[in-house]
Amino acid sequence: MKRFVRPLVLMVAVGVLGGCGQSDKDLAALDRPALTKMAEQGDPRAQTLLGEKYMANGATESDYKQAFAWTRKAAEQGNAQAQTNLGSMYDVGIGVEQDRKQAVPWIRKAADQGYAKAQFALGQKYYHGVGVAKDYQQTLDWYHKAAEQGHLDALMSIGMMYANGEGVPQDAQQAISWFNKAVEKGDVEVLNQLITMYRVGYRIPKDLEQAAVWARMAADQGDAFGQSILGEMYANGEGVRPDLKQAISWIRKAAEQGARSAQYQLGVMYLQGRGIPQDYLQAYAWISVAVANGYNEYEAADGYKTDYAIRSRELAAARLTPRLLTEAQALSHRYFKDYPPKK
Protein backbone atom coordinates (compact mmCIF):
# COMPACT_ATOMS: atom_id res chain seq x y z
CA MET A 1 0.00 0.00 0.00
CA LYS A 2 0.94 3.14 -0.96
CA ARG A 3 2.45 3.43 3.05
CA PHE A 4 -0.25 3.63 5.28
CA VAL A 5 0.34 5.94 8.29
CA ARG A 6 2.32 8.94 7.06
CA PRO A 7 5.50 9.66 9.05
CA LEU A 8 5.77 12.79 11.18
CA VAL A 9 6.16 15.63 8.72
CA LEU A 10 8.78 18.25 9.38
CA MET A 11 6.72 21.18 8.23
CA VAL A 12 2.98 20.91 8.69
CA ALA A 13 0.42 22.71 6.59
CA VAL A 14 -0.40 26.35 7.14
CA GLY A 15 -3.57 26.89 9.10
CA VAL A 16 -3.16 27.22 12.86
CA LEU A 17 -0.70 30.07 12.98
CA GLY A 18 -2.44 32.45 15.36
CA GLY A 19 -2.24 36.21 15.25
CA CYS A 20 -4.41 38.58 13.28
CA GLY A 21 -4.30 40.86 10.27
CA GLN A 22 -3.45 39.21 7.00
CA SER A 23 -4.91 35.80 6.27
CA ASP A 24 -2.68 32.73 6.41
CA LYS A 25 -3.04 32.38 2.62
CA ASP A 26 -1.90 35.95 2.07
CA LEU A 27 1.06 35.48 4.39
CA ALA A 28 2.09 32.27 2.68
CA ALA A 29 2.23 34.13 -0.63
CA LEU A 30 4.74 36.67 0.69
CA ASP A 31 8.38 36.37 -0.32
CA ARG A 32 11.14 35.86 2.20
CA PRO A 33 12.11 39.57 2.63
CA ALA A 34 8.50 40.57 3.34
CA LEU A 35 8.05 37.75 5.81
CA THR A 36 11.38 38.59 7.46
CA LYS A 37 10.21 42.14 8.09
CA MET A 38 7.04 40.90 9.80
CA ALA A 39 8.93 38.20 11.70
CA GLU A 40 11.40 40.75 13.03
CA GLN A 41 8.41 42.68 14.40
CA GLY A 42 7.52 39.59 16.44
CA ASP A 43 4.60 38.16 14.41
CA PRO A 44 4.52 34.42 15.28
CA ARG A 45 2.64 33.54 12.10
CA ALA A 46 5.33 35.19 9.98
CA GLN A 47 8.07 33.57 12.06
CA THR A 48 6.50 30.13 11.55
CA LEU A 49 6.12 30.61 7.80
CA LEU A 50 9.61 32.05 7.49
CA GLY A 51 10.97 28.97 9.19
CA GLU A 52 9.13 26.83 6.66
CA LYS A 53 10.45 28.86 3.73
CA TYR A 54 13.99 28.30 4.95
CA MET A 55 13.19 24.58 4.91
CA ALA A 56 12.23 24.66 1.22
CA ASN A 57 13.87 22.37 -1.35
CA GLY A 58 17.53 23.12 -1.84
CA ALA A 59 18.02 24.35 1.72
CA THR A 60 21.59 24.57 2.99
CA GLU A 61 22.86 23.92 6.50
CA SER A 62 22.76 27.70 7.06
CA ASP A 63 19.11 27.74 5.95
CA TYR A 64 18.28 24.95 8.39
CA LYS A 65 19.79 26.94 11.24
CA GLN A 66 17.71 29.97 10.23
CA ALA A 67 14.62 27.76 10.06
CA PHE A 68 15.27 26.48 13.55
CA ALA A 69 15.88 29.97 14.95
CA TRP A 70 12.67 31.47 13.54
CA THR A 71 10.59 28.41 14.41
CA ARG A 72 11.84 28.54 18.00
CA LYS A 73 10.90 32.22 18.31
CA ALA A 74 7.32 31.44 17.25
CA ALA A 75 7.18 28.34 19.45
CA GLU A 76 8.26 30.33 22.49
CA GLN A 77 5.32 32.65 21.83
CA GLY A 78 2.99 29.67 22.14
CA ASN A 79 2.27 29.05 18.45
CA ALA A 80 1.08 25.44 18.27
CA GLN A 81 2.17 24.85 14.69
CA ALA A 82 5.64 26.20 15.38
CA GLN A 83 5.87 24.07 18.51
CA THR A 84 5.03 20.99 16.46
CA ASN A 85 7.55 21.96 13.78
CA LEU A 86 10.20 22.59 16.41
CA GLY A 87 9.60 19.21 17.98
CA SER A 88 9.97 17.61 14.55
CA MET A 89 13.25 19.45 13.98
CA TYR A 90 14.64 18.16 17.27
CA ASP A 91 13.34 14.72 16.40
CA VAL A 92 15.21 14.56 13.08
CA GLY A 93 18.12 16.87 13.83
CA ILE A 94 17.40 19.67 11.37
CA GLY A 95 19.15 22.94 12.23
CA VAL A 96 19.95 21.54 15.66
CA GLU A 97 21.58 18.46 17.13
CA GLN A 98 19.13 15.56 17.15
CA ASP A 99 17.48 15.17 20.54
CA ARG A 100 14.34 13.06 20.55
CA LYS A 101 13.70 13.60 24.23
CA GLN A 102 13.76 17.36 23.68
CA ALA A 103 11.28 16.93 20.83
CA VAL A 104 8.57 15.55 23.10
CA PRO A 105 7.98 18.59 25.36
CA TRP A 106 7.47 20.87 22.37
CA ILE A 107 5.06 18.50 20.67
CA ARG A 108 3.24 18.10 23.99
CA LYS A 109 2.86 21.87 24.36
CA ALA A 110 1.08 21.98 21.00
CA ALA A 111 -0.97 18.87 21.79
CA ASP A 112 -2.13 20.42 25.08
CA GLN A 113 -3.43 23.36 23.07
CA GLY A 114 -5.65 20.97 21.12
CA TYR A 115 -3.61 20.97 17.90
CA ALA A 116 -4.63 17.74 16.19
CA LYS A 117 -1.39 17.20 14.27
CA ALA A 118 0.58 17.44 17.49
CA GLN A 119 -1.84 15.15 19.32
CA PHE A 120 -1.37 12.50 16.66
CA ALA A 121 2.40 13.01 16.65
CA LEU A 122 2.52 12.59 20.42
CA GLY A 123 0.43 9.45 20.13
CA GLN A 124 2.98 8.09 17.67
CA LYS A 125 5.77 8.88 20.11
CA TYR A 126 4.09 6.70 22.73
CA TYR A 127 3.28 4.01 20.17
CA HIS A 128 6.88 3.63 19.00
CA GLY A 129 8.52 4.51 22.31
CA VAL A 130 10.58 7.33 20.80
CA GLY A 131 11.63 9.93 23.37
CA VAL A 132 9.15 8.44 25.86
CA ALA A 133 8.42 5.01 27.25
CA LYS A 134 6.21 2.91 24.98
CA ASP A 135 2.64 3.16 26.25
CA TYR A 136 -0.37 2.00 24.21
CA GLN A 137 -2.85 3.61 26.58
CA GLN A 138 -1.23 7.01 26.14
CA THR A 139 -1.12 6.32 22.42
CA LEU A 140 -4.85 5.68 22.30
CA ASP A 141 -5.64 8.68 24.49
CA TRP A 142 -3.82 11.06 22.14
CA TYR A 143 -5.06 9.34 19.00
CA HIS A 144 -8.63 9.73 20.27
CA LYS A 145 -8.11 13.45 20.91
CA ALA A 146 -6.88 13.91 17.35
CA ALA A 147 -9.59 11.64 15.94
CA GLU A 148 -12.29 13.73 17.61
CA GLN A 149 -11.10 16.56 15.37
CA GLY A 150 -11.29 14.36 12.29
CA HIS A 151 -7.56 13.68 11.97
CA LEU A 152 -7.37 11.04 9.26
CA ASP A 153 -4.22 9.21 10.34
CA ALA A 154 -5.50 9.05 13.91
CA LEU A 155 -8.74 7.41 12.77
CA MET A 156 -6.80 4.88 10.72
CA SER A 157 -4.31 4.21 13.51
CA ILE A 158 -7.04 3.51 16.07
CA GLY A 159 -8.53 1.06 13.60
CA MET A 160 -5.19 -0.72 13.27
CA MET A 161 -4.80 -0.96 17.03
CA TYR A 162 -8.19 -2.69 17.27
CA ALA A 163 -7.28 -4.93 14.33
CA ASN A 164 -4.07 -6.03 16.06
CA GLY A 165 -5.26 -5.95 19.69
CA GLU A 166 -2.72 -3.31 20.71
CA GLY A 167 -3.79 -1.67 23.98
CA VAL A 168 -7.36 -2.90 23.38
CA PRO A 169 -8.94 -6.34 22.91
CA GLN A 170 -8.58 -7.44 19.29
CA ASP A 171 -11.85 -6.59 17.58
CA ALA A 172 -12.21 -6.77 13.80
CA GLN A 173 -15.59 -5.02 13.79
CA GLN A 174 -14.31 -2.11 15.87
CA ALA A 175 -11.40 -1.82 13.48
CA ILE A 176 -13.74 -1.66 10.50
CA SER A 177 -15.87 0.91 12.31
CA TRP A 178 -12.87 3.20 12.74
CA PHE A 179 -11.72 2.63 9.18
CA ASN A 180 -15.20 3.58 7.97
CA LYS A 181 -14.90 6.85 9.88
CA ALA A 182 -11.62 7.47 8.07
CA VAL A 183 -13.26 6.69 4.73
CA GLU A 184 -15.99 9.22 5.48
CA LYS A 185 -13.40 11.89 6.30
CA GLY A 186 -10.90 11.08 3.59
CA ASP A 187 -10.91 10.41 -0.11
CA VAL A 188 -10.65 7.27 -2.20
CA GLU A 189 -6.95 7.03 -1.35
CA VAL A 190 -7.99 5.84 2.11
CA LEU A 191 -9.92 3.00 0.50
CA ASN A 192 -6.88 2.11 -1.61
CA GLN A 193 -4.79 1.85 1.54
CA LEU A 194 -7.38 -0.39 3.17
CA ILE A 195 -7.61 -2.62 0.10
CA THR A 196 -3.88 -3.26 0.21
CA MET A 197 -3.77 -3.70 3.98
CA TYR A 198 -6.51 -6.31 4.05
CA ARG A 199 -5.49 -8.04 0.83
CA VAL A 200 -1.85 -8.67 1.78
CA GLY A 201 -2.10 -8.51 5.57
CA TYR A 202 -0.02 -5.35 5.92
CA ARG A 203 0.05 -4.37 9.61
CA ILE A 204 -3.31 -6.09 10.18
CA PRO A 205 -4.59 -9.67 9.80
CA LYS A 206 -5.20 -10.62 6.18
CA ASP A 207 -8.89 -10.69 5.23
CA LEU A 208 -9.68 -11.13 1.53
CA GLU A 209 -13.44 -10.78 1.96
CA GLN A 210 -13.04 -7.40 3.64
CA ALA A 211 -10.48 -6.38 1.02
CA ALA A 212 -13.10 -7.12 -1.64
CA VAL A 213 -15.61 -4.94 0.23
CA TRP A 214 -13.20 -2.00 0.22
CA ALA A 215 -12.32 -2.65 -3.45
CA ARG A 216 -15.98 -2.58 -4.42
CA MET A 217 -16.46 0.73 -2.60
CA ALA A 218 -13.51 2.26 -4.44
CA ALA A 219 -14.53 0.77 -7.78
CA ASP A 220 -18.07 2.08 -7.45
CA GLN A 221 -16.57 5.56 -7.02
CA GLY A 222 -14.82 5.18 -10.36
CA ASP A 223 -11.36 4.67 -8.88
CA ALA A 224 -9.06 2.86 -11.31
CA PHE A 225 -6.99 1.14 -8.62
CA GLY A 226 -10.12 -0.21 -6.93
CA GLN A 227 -11.53 -1.35 -10.28
CA SER A 228 -8.28 -3.10 -11.21
CA ILE A 229 -7.96 -4.90 -7.86
CA LEU A 230 -11.63 -5.89 -7.81
CA GLY A 231 -11.22 -7.32 -11.31
CA GLU A 232 -8.19 -9.33 -10.22
CA MET A 233 -10.05 -10.62 -7.18
CA TYR A 234 -12.97 -11.78 -9.33
CA ALA A 235 -10.53 -13.40 -11.75
CA ASN A 236 -8.71 -15.28 -8.98
CA GLY A 237 -11.61 -15.89 -6.59
CA GLU A 238 -10.02 -13.82 -3.82
CA GLY A 239 -12.64 -13.00 -1.21
CA VAL A 240 -15.38 -13.38 -3.83
CA ARG A 241 -16.68 -16.17 -6.02
CA PRO A 242 -14.70 -16.44 -9.26
CA ASP A 243 -16.50 -14.54 -12.01
CA LEU A 244 -14.55 -13.90 -15.20
CA LYS A 245 -17.31 -11.75 -16.68
CA GLN A 246 -17.10 -9.40 -13.68
CA ALA A 247 -13.32 -9.59 -13.81
CA ILE A 248 -13.16 -8.49 -17.43
CA SER A 249 -15.68 -5.72 -16.87
CA TRP A 250 -13.79 -4.14 -13.95
CA ILE A 251 -10.33 -4.64 -15.44
CA ARG A 252 -11.46 -3.01 -18.69
CA LYS A 253 -12.87 -0.01 -16.79
CA ALA A 254 -9.51 0.44 -15.06
CA ALA A 255 -7.54 -0.09 -18.28
CA GLU A 256 -9.56 2.59 -20.05
CA GLN A 257 -8.68 4.98 -17.24
CA GLY A 258 -4.99 4.41 -17.90
CA ALA A 259 -4.21 1.91 -15.11
CA ARG A 260 -1.23 0.14 -16.66
CA SER A 261 -1.47 -3.00 -14.53
CA ALA A 262 -5.08 -3.39 -15.70
CA GLN A 263 -4.01 -2.77 -19.30
CA TYR A 264 -1.50 -5.58 -18.97
CA GLN A 265 -4.01 -7.92 -17.28
CA LEU A 266 -6.56 -7.25 -20.01
CA GLY A 267 -3.96 -8.01 -22.66
CA VAL A 268 -3.03 -11.28 -20.97
CA MET A 269 -6.68 -12.31 -20.74
CA TYR A 270 -7.05 -11.69 -24.48
CA LEU A 271 -3.84 -13.67 -25.04
CA GLN A 272 -5.11 -16.64 -23.01
CA GLY A 273 -8.74 -16.37 -24.06
CA ARG A 274 -9.63 -16.26 -20.39
CA GLY A 275 -13.15 -14.99 -19.85
CA ILE A 276 -13.07 -13.39 -23.28
CA PRO A 277 -12.62 -14.65 -26.86
CA GLN A 278 -8.94 -15.15 -27.64
CA ASP A 279 -7.68 -12.22 -29.71
CA TYR A 280 -3.95 -11.85 -30.34
CA LEU A 281 -4.37 -8.46 -31.98
CA GLN A 282 -6.10 -7.03 -28.90
CA ALA A 283 -3.60 -8.83 -26.66
CA TYR A 284 -0.67 -7.21 -28.47
CA ALA A 285 -2.28 -3.76 -28.40
CA TRP A 286 -3.16 -3.77 -24.69
CA ILE A 287 0.14 -5.24 -23.53
CA SER A 288 2.00 -2.76 -25.72
CA VAL A 289 0.22 0.23 -24.24
CA ALA A 290 0.83 -1.11 -20.73
CA VAL A 291 4.55 -1.37 -21.46
CA ALA A 292 4.60 2.10 -23.06
CA ASN A 293 2.88 3.45 -19.94
CA GLY A 294 5.65 2.03 -17.77
CA TYR A 295 4.36 -1.40 -16.77
CA ASN A 296 6.80 -4.26 -16.27
CA GLU A 297 6.58 -7.59 -14.51
CA TYR A 298 9.85 -9.16 -13.50
CA GLU A 299 10.63 -12.50 -11.98
CA ALA A 300 14.17 -13.22 -10.84
CA ALA A 301 15.51 -16.72 -11.39
CA ASP A 302 19.13 -17.90 -11.17
CA GLY A 303 20.36 -14.34 -11.30
CA TYR A 304 18.40 -13.46 -14.43
CA LYS A 305 15.34 -11.26 -14.78
CA THR A 306 12.60 -12.01 -17.25
CA ASP A 307 10.26 -9.21 -18.26
CA TYR A 308 7.00 -11.10 -18.64
CA ALA A 309 5.22 -8.10 -20.14
CA ILE A 310 7.65 -8.00 -23.06
CA ARG A 311 7.58 -11.77 -23.33
CA SER A 312 3.77 -11.83 -23.43
CA ARG A 313 3.75 -9.22 -26.18
CA GLU A 314 6.22 -11.30 -28.17
CA LEU A 315 3.96 -14.34 -27.80
CA ALA A 316 1.02 -12.35 -29.17
CA ALA A 317 3.13 -10.95 -32.02
CA ALA A 318 4.27 -14.44 -33.00
CA ARG A 319 0.63 -15.42 -33.63
CA LEU A 320 -0.06 -12.49 -35.96
CA THR A 321 0.54 -12.21 -39.68
CA PRO A 322 2.61 -9.21 -40.81
CA ARG A 323 -0.57 -7.40 -41.86
CA LEU A 324 -2.30 -8.06 -38.52
CA LEU A 325 0.83 -7.11 -36.59
CA THR A 326 0.82 -3.75 -38.38
CA GLU A 327 -2.85 -3.33 -37.40
CA ALA A 328 -2.03 -4.28 -33.80
CA GLN A 329 0.77 -1.71 -33.65
CA ALA A 330 -1.55 0.98 -34.99
CA LEU A 331 -4.19 0.00 -32.43
CA SER A 332 -1.64 0.18 -29.60
CA HIS A 333 -0.75 3.72 -30.70
CA ARG A 334 -4.41 4.67 -30.58
CA TYR A 335 -4.83 3.11 -27.13
CA PHE A 336 -1.75 4.95 -25.90
CA LYS A 337 -3.32 8.22 -27.01
CA ASP A 338 -6.81 7.39 -25.72
CA TYR A 339 -5.80 5.76 -22.42
CA PRO A 340 -2.73 7.60 -21.06
CA PRO A 341 -1.23 6.45 -17.74
CA LYS A 342 -2.74 7.53 -14.45
CA LYS A 343 -0.69 10.24 -12.79
Q: What is the mean pLDDT of the chain?
A: 90
Average pLDDT over residues 166-189: 93
Tell whether 157 is covered by a domain: no
Give the pLDDT band (50/70/90) at residue 301: very low
3-state secondary structure of 44: helix
Q: What is the pLDDT of residue 6?
A: 35
Share of the chain above pLDDT 90, in %: 82
- The arithmetic mean of pLDDT across residues 15-27, rounded, is 60
- Residue 100 belongs to domain with CATH number: 1.25.40.10
- The tally of domains found in the chain comes to 2
Of 132, 61, 69, 54, give the one whose Cα is nearest residue 100. Answer: 132
Burial 309-341 (b: 16+ CB within 10 A, else e): beebbebbbeebeeeebeebeebbeebbeebeb
Q: Cβ(119)–Cβ(88) under 8 Å?
A: no
298 occurs within a structural domain = yes
User: How much helix, strand and coil, in percent to the nearest 5, is found in the chain?
Assistant: 65, 0, 30
**Relative orientation angle of helices 32-40 and 44-54, to the nearest 10 degrees:** 140
* CB-facing half-sphere around the CA of 339: CA atoms within 13 A: 29
Q: Is the pLDDT of residue 205 over 50?
A: yes
**Residue 306's beta-bridge partner residues?**
299
Arithmetic mean of pLDDT, 165-172 = 96
In a domain, 184, yes or no: no
The domain boundary residue, chosen from 113, 142, 177: 113
Q: Determine the pLDDT at residue 24.
A: 76
Predicted local confidence at residue 59, as pLDDT: 82
Position 25 in a domain: yes
Q: Does position 186 have pLDDT exceeding 90, yes or no?
A: no
How far is it, in rounded angstroms, from Cα 145 to Cα 160?
A: 16
Report CA-CA distances (Å) from 30 to 33, 50, 87, 116. Answer: 8, 10, 25, 26
Q: Are 126 and 139 in contact (CB under 8 A)?
A: yes
pLDDT band for position 8 (50/70/90)? very low
For 70-110, the pLDDT digits (tens) are: 999 999 999 999 999 999 999 999 999 999 999 999 999 99
343: Cα separation from own chain's centroid: 14
- Whether the pLDDT of residue 14 is over 70: the answer is no
Single out the residue in 83, 113, 143 at which a domain terminates.
113
pLDDT of residue 27: 84
pLDDT at 172: 93
Which amino acid is residue 262, in one-letter code? A
- Domain stop point among 62, 91, 113: 113
The reply to whether 202 falls in a domain is: no
- Confidence band (pLDDT; 50, 70, 90) for 9? very low
Contacts of 39 (CB under 8 A, 6+ apart): 46, 47, 50, 70, 73
Q: What is the mean pLDDT of residues 121-128?
A: 98
Domain of 65 in residue numbering reads as 1-113
